[in-house]
Amino acid sequence: MQNPDQLRALLAMAGVAGIAFLVVVGLAVAVAICWFLYTCLARVPVQYRQQEPVMVWLLLIPCFNLVWNFFVYPKIAESYKAYFDSVGRTDVGDCGRSLAVTFCILAVVGIPLGIVPFIGGIISCFLGLANLVIWILFMVKAVTLKGQIPLDAGTVVTPAPPPSQP
């Protein structure tokens, strides 16, 4: 049997390892989400993008991401809308912009409510669940619209120069 100090040290190491594991998993999920958002925005032809795709990686900055959500998610929807308007598609609605804005607002509102004892925690849990559902709906909408944009939609074909005469 180990003495209490060794047991405390072992539990502390297990706790640190558990926290490190959760941080790594959380970071991997955040990177996967950013990669997905990057590919969604990159599929939109350059002239219709409301934001450069590389800007989504700023979502990896803790706390700043709560504000940056308002610049990334609605801009993806607006980029899709601009593209589909240019090709005459009116069946796509707002391309998920209302979902994007709702997600951003619930993400910001849910954090401070979690600090309020009891009632705030319960409300925050429900808001978090609702926010997760809205986020999933937005992501499904984004991948659906992404699939409707041809891979070569953004490529500009420049004609070859005429052959020179000797």
The model's pLDDT over 83-140, given as tens digits with 9 standing for 90+, comes to 999 999 889 999 999 999 999 999 998 877 777 777 777 888 888 899 999 999 999 9
Q: Report the number of distinct structural domains present in the chain.
A: 1
List the single range of 8-12, 72-76, 146-150 with lowest mean pLDDT: 8-12
Domain of 52, in residue numbers = 4-147
pTM of the model: 0.81
Q: Can you tell me the distance from the alpha carbon of 88 to that of 74, in angstroms, rounded to the nearest whole number?
A: 21
Indicate whether 116 belongs to any domain. yes
* Residue 42 is assigned to a structural domain of this protein: yes
CA 92 – CA 13 distance, rounded (Å): 52
Is 14 a member of any domain? yes
Is 154 a domain residue?
A: no
> Which whole number is the average pLDDT over 33-43?
94
Q: Please, are residues 90 and 65 in contact by the beta-carbon 8 Å criterion?
A: no
Among the listed residues 95, 94, 101, the one whose alpha carbon sits nearest the alpha carbon of residue 145 = 95
Q: Say if 165 falls within a structural domain.
A: no
Within a domain: 111: yes
Say if CB 150 and CB 89 are below 8 A apart. no
Tell me which of 68-82, 86-100, 102-116, 145-159 is least confident.
Answer: 145-159
* 58 vs 77: CA distance, rounded Å: 18
